[in-house]
Amino acid sequence: MKQTGKNKASGRIVFVGLLFAAGFMIIAGRLVELHVLDKSFLSKKAKSQYSQSVETQPKRGVIYDAQYRELGVNLDVAKVAVRPGLIQDAKAASKILASYLDKSAAEYQKELENKDRAYIYVDKRVSTATARAVKKEWDAAKASFEYNGPGRNPNIPSLELEEDASRFYPNLGLGAQVLGFCGAEGHGLEGLEYKYDDLLTGKGSKWTILKDAMGRSFARERQTYSKKTGDNLVLTLDRTVQYIAEEALAEAVEKYQAKSGIAVVMVPDTGAVLAMANAPLYNPNAISEYSFSDWRNRAVTDTFEPGSTLKIFMAAAAVESGKCGPNSIFYCEQGNYRIGPNVVHDTHPHSWLSLQQIVKVSSNIGAVKVGEKIGPDSLFRTLDAFGFGKKLGVDCPGEASGTLRPHSQWTAIDAGTIAFGQGVSVTGLQLASAVSAIANGGVLMRPRLVQAITNSKGRLVESFQPEPLGRAVSEETAQVVARIMKTVTTEGGTGTQAALDGYRVCGKTGTAQKPAAKGGYEDNKYIASFVGFAPLSNPAVTVVVVIDEPTTDHYGGVVAAPAFREIMQKTLHYLKVAPELDTTHLTASLKRKNGPA
């Protein structure tokens, strides 16, 4: 019996020993896991509990127009930061903040009572004068609410100012959709501010705030990386031309009670954009008052069916093919032409028209007949060469490519409607670049908004030269098409309201029904447009005006042509382009309303 008792006792001892051994193995395993496998994670977690990184932003670069006039600048502001761990009486401290800043004392008290954060911003954008007033009163009263016990480092302030710069746009809404805007952190969120954010921002300084076990700051370390002021952008936009375009566009949108509008002004032989206007505008200094739809730059993001403005390029394809000349004639079926089950109509009935007359009076049936003669392959190649259906690479975010399907996918009716601008979509910028190619002897240029980058001292860092994208058509074809376009603004043409005293204008009207969401076209929704360049002898300026959903009238020659005329006339005078005609010649007799296109 005694032997049996001893055996039981020995068994219990062995069992307890095994439990201890197992426990030791578990603890040892956990120690290995913590010290080896989770070392990096735990190190980071521990560091986050006794340190916090704070980065200060450098001064942002300036955005200038082509004449070095300021479009986007910086205003002196400050960030107000507090260290909650150094605040003993959060209620008293909060009253001082609330007397100068935007939140209530209760809101600030809640923030200051959160000791988990070593360093918080109670306001990220306040005038320097206001921030200094806060600091002055805070310092005068801090003895009553600061922690001053053991471990308190007197060199670490409980409230600190980070004097900074806030983005400001001195011309308010001028060019707003092109420039974009910056967020509260000082980074670009839209437009060129977003596209060139890294360049404009520069490099800042980074600080590490150290805190004790109670969350109180006791020291700070500066991590070295060089502070560098952001570089400046010099645009091709001209503030005066931008104002001219925006004023004329806004007037047209208001007069015809339209949904929106765009206007582009370009130098044909360089691709430099002098103006890119949108209506309605918004004020980037008060961005919260506007919706997302107001921010977008419709000239590059929005696509639409161009309507009869595409007849310019139909004519270019016809001449370039060698199968047609300006005097080649086509029978226009007295206003109705059947293609399978579909019927194409003209606004007014016509019999025989030359290619030149088809463009002048904007005959859809004539355009279809020309397209049938040259074939879809020829039409597609020319439209593709003018940059339709692809991005042009403008230095602006959100560029759309538009739509141009391969000609192998076209049906007979597709080929016909594309010839007069339906079944294909473009952007306002694409249209301006393509028309500029006609003015530039057939060479398509890459559109550009930025001409140079300079540093904070005004020294040139980089410049951007005009860049040809390729030859769309021969110089001879471009000259023929330009002369055809000139007839549009003469008596009997659809664009007489775009005619100027002193200059020969080459242009084209466009009136296009808007596609319906479920197929087909809307009955009462149109895009009215006018595109063109002047003067004929030495083209200096291309202008495109597009009005979306005008309601009191919808023809491009009525709605968009007068705005084109206003922009073109004032821009030529501003640029001191010499008249090519006798300025006493009156065009008033030509300024009458025309129905088609």
Q: Give residue 591's pLDDT.
A: 47
Residue type, 458: G
Query: Hey, which bits of 304-441 come out as E strands?
Result: 329-331, 336-339, 342-345, 352-354
> What tens digit of pLDDT does each residue of 581-595 get?
655 444 444 444 445
Q: Give residue 115's pLDDT.
A: 87
Instruction: Collect all residues with Cβ–Cβ distance below 8 Å to 213 and sequence separation of at least 6.
Output: 50
Q: Give residue 586's pLDDT.
A: 45
Which of 3.90.260.10, 3.40.710.10, 3.20.20.70, 3.30.43.10 would CATH assign to domain 239-282+298-582? 3.40.710.10
Phi, psi of 450, rounded to the nearest 5 degrees: -115, 125
CATH architecture of residue range(s) 52-85+118-235: Alpha-Beta Complex (3.90)
Domain range summary for the chain, segments of one domain joined by +: 52-85+118-235, 239-282+298-582
Residue of 308, 321, 363, 378 marked active site:
308
Contact 147, 86 (CB under 8 A): yes
Q: Give residue 66's pLDDT.
A: 98
Task: With a cut of 50, list the residues of the chain below it in pLDDT.
Answer: 214, 216, 218, 584-594
Phi, psi of 557, rounded to the nearest 5 degrees: -70, -20
Contact 350, 361 (CB under 8 A): yes
Instruction: Collect all residues with Cβ–Cβ distance below 8 Å to 327 and sequence separation of at least 6.
Output: 354, 355, 356
Q: Give residue 37's pLDDT.
A: 52
Q: Identify the CA nearest to 50 among candidates 119, 142, 137.
A: 119
Q: Give residue 36's pLDDT.
A: 56
Q: Give residue 15's pLDDT.
A: 62
Give the helix/strand (H/E) hosting 478.
Answer: helix 475-488
What does the CA dihedral 310, 314, 319, 324 come to, rounded to 10 degrees?
-140
Q: For residue 269, what are the CA distances in angstroms to 388, 466, 541?
A: 19, 8, 9
Query: Hey, which bits of 406-492 come out as E strands?
Result: 443-445, 450-454, 460-463, 468-471
Q: Give residue 584's pLDDT.
A: 47
Is 328 in the active site?
A: no
Q: Distance between CA atoms of 572 and 581, rounded to whole angstroms?
A: 14
pTM exceeds 0.85 for this model: no
